[in-house]
Amino acid sequence: MTIEHEILVIAAKSYGLFYLIGLSVIVLAYTFWPSNKKPFERAAKSIMEDEDRPWQ
Amino acid sequence: MMVSQLTVGERQLALVLLILMAVWGLVMTLAGADGLFQAQGTLIFLYSLGGIFLVLSGYFLPPPAANREDRYYDDPTKAGIILAMIWALIAMFVGDWVAWLLAYPEMTFDAAWASFGRLRPVHTTGIIFGFGGNALIAASLHVVQRTSRARLPDQLSPWFVLFGYNLFCLLAVSGYLIGITQSKEYAEPEWYADIWLVVVWVTYFILYLRVLARRKEPHIYVANWYFMAFILVVAVLHIVNNLALPIAFNHVKSYSAFSGVQDAMTQWWYGHNAVAFFLTAGFLGMLYYFLPKRAERPIYSYRMSIIGFWGITFFYMWAGSHHLHYTALPTWVQTLGMTFSAMLLVPSWIAAGNALMTLNGAWHRVRDDATLRFMMVAAVFYGLSTFEGSFMAIRPVNALSHYTDWTIGHVHAGALGWVALITFGTIYSLVPWLWKKERMYSPKLVEVHFWLALAGVLIYVFAMWNSGIIQGLMWRTYDDAGTLAYSFVESMEAMHPYYIARAIGGLLFLIGTAVGSYNIWRTIRMPESAGVVETPVPEPAARPVLRSGE
Amino acid sequence: MFNIHYRLERYSIRFAIGVLIVASIGGFVEIAPLFTIDETVESAPDMRVYTPLELAGRNIYIREGCYACHSQMIRTLRDEVERYGPYSLAAESQYDHPMLWGSKRTGPDLARIGGKYSDDWHVAHLNNPRDVVPPSVMPSYRWLGETELSRQDLVLDLKALQRLGVPYSEEMVTNATADAYGQAMPDSDEAEGVAERYGDATHIRDFDGNRQKVTELDALIAYLQILGRLTDAAYQNPALQKLGGPK
């Protein structure tokens, strides 16, 4: 039981770190990927448009 | 109004569902082993019966026009707003009442239900789930339709979500008064109510996905990400934290599946993430839609909102253990919680900064428009209380602040300053839009509400900072002889003036809410303004039905 | 085109799963090891379970929301140890479903309140706290002493806890109702079985000073008087009673 627990703790601590770094890289890359600029800008403006009724 | 918008098939299905609920209530009443279980069953039965009468009263109305697909379905949002305001009035009143109880403890009239311990969860549940939850359901249904350019897929499931959810709130709140609680903070309702909430919540999630699936706009606007995270993660938290074994299926009582240190960790993993995904993610969804709309400027940086989203989704989950510093929880878990709490400041301030930068160039509007000012101040309070939260998660700071009123002050900076203010800003925007009015009945009263609310929060928070820090210091002060300088009772006596100040701050906030409710009510009753309007479907004069507040 | 996310979020279900994965890892990393751990909970071989009367008292404590103002967790800080006693060990709440560590001290910590005051003091205090502590802001709980304790469900209570892993014996479960009566009625026939099943150190006495019936006040005081006393583990280690203070 003790060994299992220690393994779990070590895995949690080390894997957690890699996971953190990996995730940050993915999110940042996605966010600043040049080709994503346009859809984002469009999305930001899209809610400002008239919204009287659903699109058909 | 409500029933007339349901198709005939939906009316039938509604009746079937309500009859099933009534049977459920009846079974609980008849099979219940004690008065408590029977009382809760009777409540479910009567609630469902009310619903059955409501549906029957409109059952033979002409079916809704076939062109309803041309419009968004806003009736549930309207009802949600009204329900949110009703809950706000009730729960803030109870909150202020218990605040006075701490200054004048004799006001319990020797009645069990009127004592602090039973009323306090009425306040917390009423605010978080009653006020906050209804506002979130209302706002999210509005936003998801607009940003998807698609109408809700049917007319029944939003009502099921709304009324089912309010049944949960009623079961919870009435249960506390008669002594039903599982004592997990912010998750007090017992097992049968918890199961019911799962049913409602799954329906909510599916409804949300169905709207998104119907969307005409390919990109999902970021506000919806926050709403989705709110719905989804709250479901997970709720299910895990409430795992419990009822002593029998006709009893209210259950025992938590976890014990001791595991239970503590699960409880605060839930507690902290309820703050994160209910009181933060959900309301950020509101912010990211309604603030740009009201300011008439697109969000300052869409990219920042994405980074903020993943940051909050990722970091918050690790932070719960900062509620358990210096306890029997293993130290490495405490350290982990502290580290991630500090890192949380980054995505939190990204969100707050993003909101404030959006207002750049629109400050004249903030000055003139109290509604926008509600949202602006909410963003400021969000920034302040997230900073405070990260600060308090540092172990030595927590050594002082934990168990004291400082925590209460922090929570209210978040709940009053952030959650309530952004909600009022949202509601003041939504009411004229949805009820097709040119503006609120009285912009002056919005202004009055704003200043009452702001004064109330500030008095409240400063009173609690003072009392909390004094308390914390008195508990740890030693005299020259090396013994503790103050008895606990002395620290308690020192709190009295602050408890009165806090109750006054809360009273101001409550009065503001009452003023706001009056204003909203008058706005709804105003004649529709010409010009703003696409002609609504002619409605039978059933409008007051909505306000019955079921 | 690096458009994973764009595609991802076009398909909202996959997006939802993404959120779920990202969000659940933190909780998993923090909580999972606590369930395999043996060291989290130090061994306390002498620890006994709550008697039915104490458990009933605990449920009253929960029902009245006492946990909203009283913590049951002494932290590893010098001033806390000196004010309240040895800091709380994980083992001490290992049978607590749910735990009542609390988060606020409007009133003092109660983790080691057991034995600190007499039963009479508790009776007076619960009837009107201001009779014994004039500046107290605690509500009066006068009705507890007038309300007879409902005992018929205790068998179910113990059975549920037994199924969750609390070491109640079959005998304890079967006799729960009688034991709850006997513990507060020292002269009754039922009293003998309590000591037999829960140990000689168990408090068997009339807690509330009312010999006519077993009241909710009996149960609550029985619970308060055992808080911190279910095991001696915290008292056996002198190191726990002194601490260097917060660093």
Domain ranges of chain B: 1-70, 71-524
Whether residue A9 has pLDDT greater than 80: no
pLDDT tens digits for range B85-105: 999 999 999 999 999 999 999
Q: Do C69 and B251 touch (CB under 8 A)?
A: no
Nearest residue in C to A23, CA atom: C22
Pairwise CB contact (< 8 Å): B261 & C34: yes
With an 8 Å Cβ cutoff, are B307 and A23 in contact?
no
The per-residue pLDDT for A12 is 67
Q: In C, which residues are within 8 Å of A28 by CB distance? A: none
Flag if B110 and C136 touch (Cβ within 8 Å).
no
- % residues pLDDT > 90 (chain C): 71
Confidence (pLDDT) at B70: 86
* Whether the predicted pLDDT of B549 surpasses 50: no
Q: Which residues pair with B256 in a beta bridge?
A: B244
What's the pTM value of the predicted model, to 2 decimals?
0.92
Phi, psi angle pair for B362, to nearest 5°? -125, 20
- Three-state DSSP at B345 gives helix
For C7, counting Cβ atoms within 10 Å of its Cβ (0-12 exposed, 13-18 middle, 19+ buried), the class is: exposed
| Type of residue found at B361 | G
State the pLDDT confidence band at B537, using cuts at 50, 70 and 90.
Answer: very low
User: Does C153 contact B253 at a Cβ distance shorter than 8 Å?
Assistant: yes
Chains that touch B (3 or more CB pairs under 8 A): A, C
Q: CB C67 to CB B105 under 8 A?
A: no
What confidence category does residue C247 fall into, taking pLDDT thresholds of 50, 70 and 90? very low
Q: Distance between CA atoms of B497 and B313, rounded to whole angstroms?
A: 40
Interface check for B430 against chain A (CB to CB < 8 A): the answer is no
Task: Spell out the domains of chain C, with CATH numbers in brackets.
Answer: 2-40 (no CATH), 52-242 (1.10.760.10)
Across B66-94, average pLDDT: 94
- Are C219 and C149 spatial neighbours (Cβ–Cβ below 8 Å)? yes
Q: Which residues of B touch C22 (CB under 8 A)?
A: 310, 313-314
B10/chain A closest Cα distance in angstroms? 22
Residue B465 has pLDDT above 90, yes or no: yes
Q: How confident is the model at residue B546 (pLDDT cuts 50, 70, 90)?
A: very low
**Contact B302/A13, CB-based, under 8 Å?**
no
Q: pLDDT tens for residues B352-402? A: 999 999 999 889 999 999 999 999 999 999 999 999 999 999 999 999 999
Q: What is the tens place of the pLDDT at every residue in C35-89?
A: 666 555 667 888 999 999 999 999 999 999 999 999 999 999 999 999 999 999 9
Residue B156 in this model has a pLDDT that exceeds 80: yes
* pLDDT greater than 60 at residue B13: yes
Quick one: what percent of chain B has pLDDT higher than 90? Answer: 81
Of B491-500, C18-27, C145-154, C179-188, the one with minimum mean pLDDT is: C18-27
Cα B214 from Cα B127, distance rounded (Å): 33
Residue written as token pair 């004048």: B104
Count of CA atoms in the C-beta half-sphere (13 A) of C39: 11
Please name the fold of domain B71-524: Cytochrome C Oxidase; Chain A (1.20.210)
Mean pLDDT of B133-161: 95
Note the helical H segments in B32-71: 35-57
pLDDT reading at A1 higher than 70: no
CB atoms within 10 A of CB C116: 15
User: In this complex, do B307 and A28 lie within 8 Å of one another by their Cβ atoms?
Assistant: yes
Give chain A positions within 8 Å (CB) of C37: 5
The answer to whether residue B536 neighbours chain A at the CB level (below 8 Å) is no
| Average of per-residue pLDDT values in chain B | 92
CB B254, CB B322: distance < 8 Å: no
pLDDT at C5: 55
Tell me the pLDDT band of B67, cut-offs 50, 70 and 90. Answer: confident
Residue closest to B269 by CA, chosen among C29, A27, C209: C29
Q: What is the mean pLDDT of residues B273-295?
A: 94
- Neighboring chain B residues of C138 at a CB cutoff of 8 Å: 105
Predicted confidence band of residue C219 (pLDDT cuts 50, 70, 90): very high
| Per-residue burial over B51-63, b = 16 or more CB atoms within 10 Å of its CB, e = otherwise | bbebbeebeebee
Q: How would residue A38 be classed by pLDDT, with cut points 50, 70 and 90? A: confident
Residue B168 pLDDT more than 90? yes
Distance, in Å, from the CA atom of B64 to the CA atom of B41, rounded to the nearest integer, reads 34
Q: How confident is the model at residue B3, as a pLDDT?
A: 85
More confident residue, A52 or B421: B421
* Contact A17/C at CB under 8 A: no
Q: Is B110–C142 a contact, with Cβ atoms under 8 angstroms apart?
A: yes
Chains in contact with A via at least 3 Cβ–Cβ pairs below 8 Å: B, C
Q: How confident is the model at residue B405 (pLDDT cuts 50, 70, 90)?
A: very high
pLDDT at position B398 is 93
Q: How far apart are the first and last CA of chain C?
A: 53
**Alpha-helix residue ranges (DSSP H) falling in C1-91:** 4-10, 12-36, 52-63, 78-84
Closest by Cβ to C6, choosing from A1, A19, A39: A39
- Contact pairs from chain A to chain C, CB under 8 Å: 37
Percent of chain B with pLDDT strictly greater than 70: 96
- Tell me, rounded to whole angstroms, the distance of Cα C190 from its chain centroid: 25
- Best of B106, B176, B317, B499 to disrupt the C interface by mutation (most C CBs within 10 Å)? B317
Query: What's the mean pLDDT in B33-49?
Result: 96
The DSSP bridge partners found for residue B244 are B256
Q: In angstroms, rounded to a whole number, what is the distance separating the alpha carbons of residues C140 and C131?
A: 10
Subunit contact A1:C36, Cβ cutoff 8 A: yes
Can you count the helices (H) and strands (E) in chain A?
2, 0
Q: Measured between beta carbons, which residues in chain A are less than 8 angstroms from residue C29?
A: 12-13, 15-16
In chain C, the residue whose alpha carbon lies closest to the alpha carbon of A22 is: C22
ipTM for the whole complex:
0.92
How far is it, in rounded angstroms, from Cα B15 to Cα B459? Answer: 49
Question: Which residues of chain A have a CB within 8 Å of the CB of C15?
Answer: none
Question: Is the confidence at residue B445, as pLDDT, over 50?
Answer: yes
Chain A nearest-CA residue for B306: A31
pLDDT at C41: 64
The tokens for C150 are: 């409902």
Quickly tell me which residue has 């603030």 as its tokens. B291
pLDDT of residue C213: 93
Q: What is the pLDDT of residue B336?
A: 80
Q: How far apart are CA A50 and CA A29, in angstroms?
A: 32
Does any CB of chain A come closer than 8 Å to the CB of residue C31? no
C-chain CB neighbours of A19 within 8 Å are 25
Confirm or reject contact between A24 and chain C (CB < 8 A): no
pLDDT at residue C10, rounded to an integer: 58
Eight-state DSSP code of residue B529: P
Q: Which of C50, C63, C237 to mutate to test the interface with B (most CBs of B within 10 A)?
A: C63
Among the partner-chain residues A5, A23, A39, the one whose CB lies closest to the CB of C36 is A5
Chain B residues with CB under 8 Å of A21 CB are none
Across the interface, whether the CB atoms of A35 and C1 are under 8 A apart is answered yes
Distances (CA, A) of B320 to B272, B274, B402, C94: 5, 10, 14, 20
Does B542 score more than 60 pLDDT? Answer: no
> Rounded mean pLDDT of chain C?
87
Asked whether the predicted pLDDT for residue B520 surpasses 90, the reply is yes
C237 or C213, greater pLDDT = C213
Tell me, what's the pLDDT at B538?
42
Report how far apart, in Å, the C-alpha atoms of B350 and of each of B301, B309, B311, B346, B389 are: 10, 9, 10, 6, 15
Residue C157: count other Cβ atoms within 10 Å of its Cβ: 25
